[in-house]
Amino acid sequence: MTSLQKRFSLESKNVLVTGATGYLGRAMALGLAELGANILVNGRNRERVEESVAELCDGGLSATPAVFDINDEIEVHQWFSQYGDLPLHGLVNNAYAGGAGSVETAAEEDYRGSYEVAVVSAHRLLNSALPGLRAAHRKCGNASVVNIGSMYGLVSPDQRIYESKRVANPPFYGAAKAALIQWTRYAACEFGREGIRVNAISPGPFPSENVQARNPEFVSKLAERVPMGRIGRAVELQGPLSFLISDASSFVNGTNLIVDGGWTCW
C-alpha cells in the first residue's frame, strides 16, 4: 500500500477539464495542476485557452491546450482521434452555458439546450475518452471521471432572493443537472468493474466574480441562505475535486459530493 500522500498526488497524470477557462474551471484546473497533473485545458475560444495554459505554465505547472466545442460531435471526435490511446487519468465534465428564467418565462429550446450541454456532452465525452481512460487504468490501476452537477439538481432555488422571474436560476438548469447526477450513477455502475470511477460534485452558491462585483446585494442574500453564512470561494472546489480524481478516492464510485456550505441541509 502506497502512502496517503502519494495516493493524493496527481504527478504525471493527464486530466481533461472542460470549460477550463471559466471562473470555476480555472480554479479547478489550477488545483489539479498544483498536485502534479498535466491539465488538458478545454474551451471553444483558442485565445482564452492559450491564455489559461500560459498562466499555468508560467507558474511552473503543466498544461496543454484542448480546443474544441463539447457540443460539436465532429470536433470532439477529431480531438480524441488526435489524442489517441494515450492514458487519460481524469475527465472533468464542467462546461455549461445557459441563461436565467423560470417555468413561466423559459422556452422549450432552453430545456433542450441545457440538456445537450449538461448530459449529452458528458455522454459524448465519456464515450470518446474510454480508450484513454482504459489505458490509464491498465497503466496505474485507476481512472476517474467527475461530473460537475449543482445543488439545484437536488433542491429548488429560493425565488425570493431574485429581482424577478426572468433573472432567477432557471428550471432547465436544475433539471439538466439532476439528470447529470443520475446519469453519473448509471455510468458508475457500468464502468466500475473496469476500474473507471464516475462521480459528481454539486457546488452550492459560487457566484462569479462579475456577479460579486456588480450585485453585492444579491450575493448578500445568497450568503444569508447558507448555514456557514457566506458564499463559496472557487478555490474551495479544488480539494473535493482533487480527492475524487486522485487514487485517494479509489473506492468512491457513483457518489455526489455536495459542496454548498450546508445549503441543502436546511
The tens digit of pLDDT for each residue in 128-140 reads 999 999 999 999 9
Q: Is residue 1 over pLDDT 80? A: no
Buried b / exposed e over 56-89, threshold 16 CB at 10 Å, is beeeebbbebbbbbbbeeeebeebbeebeeebbb
Q: Is residue 17 over pLDDT 90? A: yes
pLDDT tens across 60-90, in order?
Answer: 999 999 999 999 999 999 999 999 989 999 9
Arithmetic mean of pLDDT, 216-243: 98
pTM, to two decimals: 0.97
222/189 Cα distance (integer angstroms): 35
Instruction: List, in order of start, the domains of the chain with CATH numbers.
Output: 4-105+118-207+230-259 (3.40.50.720)
pLDDT grade, residue 237 (50/70/90)? very high
What pLDDT does 2 receive? 83
Q: Is residue 37 over pLDDT 80? A: yes
83/98 Cα distance (integer angstroms): 29
Q: Which is nearest to 200 in space by CA: 100, 91, 114?
A: 91
Say what percent of the chain tops pLDDT 70.
Answer: 100
170/157 Cα distance (integer angstroms): 9
Q: 52: burial class by Cβ within 10 Å (0-12, 13-18, 19+)?
A: buried
Arithmetic mean of pLDDT, 199-204: 98
Helix (H, G, I), strand (E, B) or coil at 198: strand
